[in-house]
A and B are shown apart, each in its own frame.
Chain A
Amino acid sequence: MAFINFSSGEIQCKIIYYGPGLGGKTTNLRYIYDSTNDHIRGQLVSIDTKGDRTLFFDFLSLDLGKIRDYKIRVQLYTVPGQVHYDATRKLVLRGADGIVFVADSMRVQREKNIESLENMAINLKEKGIDATKIPLVLQYNKRDLEGSNIPILTIEEIERDLNAHFKAPFFTASALKGDGVFETLREISKLTVRDVSRKVLSKGQT
């Protein structure tokens, strides 16, 4: 649920990083946090276990500048990827305006990617959101493993597994090194703000 404040000229959107456990959702947020100035971002809030696994969510607020005189603020959340944290995943999804699905390119994670995407669609449906309608960007993470001795999926394989139905924009990435992180963020922000604007500002509110 985006929030539009005509008084202060501000649009706030909620973007969720979804995906299987250990896929790099938190690493995406950490990279964004480390690479931005503190005047455009808030604190990186993490509720995690002592083992550094996300327990509830990570949260980062970012100011993206202005579009049509409106200050755009995006709030980035990650969900816990581990299967047994489904209840908390549902809580974080509440009011989502856009989603980045972070897929793990490692071949051993193939099933986990598919399961997580299916779980995302089910949880969104429970919130009354159609997964094919909400702004969605896929990120194929850990591409830096290409050429190493760890078997990884080809882009064609991941596309067939995850994106045949959605046909969403996708980016290859290495969240650890930062490759593709801002490209993904830029695309999902653009799609989300456009979607919110279309729903709200097109109704003659401006």
Chain B
Amino acid sequence: MNIILSDQDIGRIERSLDKMLSSSGAHCALLIDRSGQLISSSGDPSTLDVIALSALTAANFGATSEIARLLGEDEFALLFHKGKNENVHFSKIGTEFIMVTLFDDRTTLGLVRLRTEKVVHELREIFTEIMERNKGE
């Protein structure tokens, strides 16, 4: 199935991501689908190649899901990479989408998790609507 997004859809998604960024202190958020396509981004990706990051994230997520499956788990709920300066947090949105949140030491993993959890619910609702609409067309 293809995903078709209208101006309004993109507006709603961007507003959700912006809100999450300002409340969590993270500096960049990407919304991608599980096949690696970038849907929307918010914040400052600066010199980052967000297209490549989207492809790698989807692959990473897919590989991790397979590891979970081998261990008898449905999926790992938390996926997080910690670097010296940059950290990445991944959240699953429904079965088809992933939110990637980039943050540094100006905030904490706990706060980012708390805020992303809230926005995941919002985005899940938005995407349920979009997918339902796409199905009907």
A residues whose Cβ falls under 8 Å from a Cβ of B: 1-8, 12, 14, 42-43, 45, 47, 56-57, 59, 61, 75, 77, 87-88, 91-92, 94-96, 196, 199-200, 203, 205
Contacts and interface: CB of A to CB of B under 8 A. Distances in A.
Given A5-B10, A57-B59, A75-B37, A42 B52 contact: yes
Contacts of B35: 1, 14, 94-96
Contacts of B38: 12
Contacts of B66: 87, 91
A11 to B, nearest CB: 9
B59 A2 contact: no
A196 B52 contact: no
Contact of A59 (B3, B5, B33, B52): B52
B136 to A, nearest CB: 10
B66 to A, nearest CB: 6
Q: Which of B35, B37, B58, B62 has the most CB of A within 10 A?
A: B35
Nearest to A41: B51
Nearest to A92: B59
A179 B39 CA distance: 34
A95 B7 contact: no
B55 A77 contact: yes
B51 A61 contact: yes
Contacts of B78: none
B5 A5 contact: yes
Interface size class of B (residues with CB under 8 A): 20 to 34
B51 to A, nearest CB: 4
A43 B49 contact: yes
A45 B56 contact: yes
Q: What 7 A-B pairs come out closest when comparing CB atoms?
A: A95-B35, A91-B62, A7-B10, A3-B37, A61-B51, A59-B55, A7-B7
Contact of B52 (A14, A43, A91, A205): A43
A45 B137 CA distance: 35
A35 B3 CA distance: 31
Contacts of A5: 5, 10, 39
B4 A94 contact: no
Contacts of A57: 55, 59
A57 B56 CA distance: 9
Interface in B40-75: 49, 51-52, 55-56, 58-59, 62-63, 66
B6 to A, nearest CB: 5
Contacts of A8: 10
Contacts of B36: 14, 59, 75, 77, 95
